[in-house]
């Protein structure tokens, strides 16, 4: 069997106050002092931080750099996406306003058209009623003329039969005038 080689061949010397603080810190974190020391060395090695820099200027610079990259990304997205989107929304808003005014105008004209159609319908109904009265009146007029003609013809026949002492030419002329007057009715 090979003798076991201890890897812990290096040692670090530090004051007693530092040892007390390291012990408190190790207990607080639930680790051994050696493990905590190894982890601290790894942390500073990987993060490339200077332990003397308590304000963490390197971290501030990295954060500032990260924030600047984020702001640059946001500005780029704003230029590429938000500005065109805003202009499209503005155009859509303008089109919606225009469409609203056109729709309102169409609705108003439709109402006017409906009113005009109603008025035209009312006038056509009145015209229809007048035409019906006229047709009825014409029918009555023809019946009246026909009845009057019969009466007149009867009158003329009876006058002839009575033999009034008037000349035949005057009788014919009178009958002709009466018939003309009847036709003019």
**Whole-number mean pLDDT of the chain?**
84
Angle between helices 168-184 and 83-162 (to 10 degrees): 160
For residue 64, the Cα-to-chain-centroid distance in whole angstroms is: 46
Q: Residue 21: inside a domain, yes or no?
A: yes
116 plus 158 within the same structural domain: yes
35 plus 91 within the same structural domain: no
Q: Residue 174: inside a domain, yes or no?
A: yes
Is-contact 159 171, C-beta < 8 A? yes
Q: Residue 1: inside a domain, yes or no?
A: no
H/E run at residue 62: helix 57-77
- Answer with the residue of higher pLDDT: 2 or 147: 147
Q: Of 154, 131, 140, which is closest to residue 185 (Cα–Cα)?
A: 140
On the question of pLDDT at 19 being above 70, the answer is yes
Q: Residue 117: inside a domain, yes or no?
A: yes
Domain count along the chain = 2
54 plus 132 within the same structural domain: yes
On the question of pLDDT at 53 being above 80, the answer is no
Domain coverage including residue 25: 13-48
Q: Residue 2: inside a domain, yes or no?
A: no
Q: Residue 116: inside a domain, yes or no?
A: yes
Q: Of 70, 69, 47, 71, which is closest to residue 59 (Cα–Cα)?
A: 47
pTM: 0.36
Could you tell me what percent of the chain has a pLDDT over 90?
36
């Amino acid at each position: 069997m090979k003798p076991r080689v201890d890897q812990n061949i290096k040692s670090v010397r530090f004051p007693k106050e530092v040892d007390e603080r390291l012990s408190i810190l190790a207990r607080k974190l639930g680790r051994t002092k050696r493990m905590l020391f190894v982890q601290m060395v790894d942390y500073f090695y990987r993060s490339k931080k200077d332990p003397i820099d308590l304000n963490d200027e390197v971290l501030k610079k990295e954060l500032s750099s990260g924030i600047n990259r984020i702001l640059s990304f946001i500005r780029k997205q704003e230029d590429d996406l938000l500005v065109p989107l805003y202009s499209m929304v503005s155009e859509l808003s303008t089109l919606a306003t225009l469409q609203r005014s056109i729709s309102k105008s169409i609705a108003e004209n439709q109402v006017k058209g409906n009113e005009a159609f109603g008025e035209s319908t009312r006038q056509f109904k009145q015209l229809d009623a007048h035409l019906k009265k006229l047709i009825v009146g014409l029918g009555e007029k023809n019946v009246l003329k026909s009845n009057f003609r019969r009466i007149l013809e009867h009158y003329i026949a009876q006058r002839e039969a009575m033999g009034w002492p008037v000349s035949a030419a005057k009788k014919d002329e009178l009958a002709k005038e009466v018939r003309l007057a009847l036709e003019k009715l």
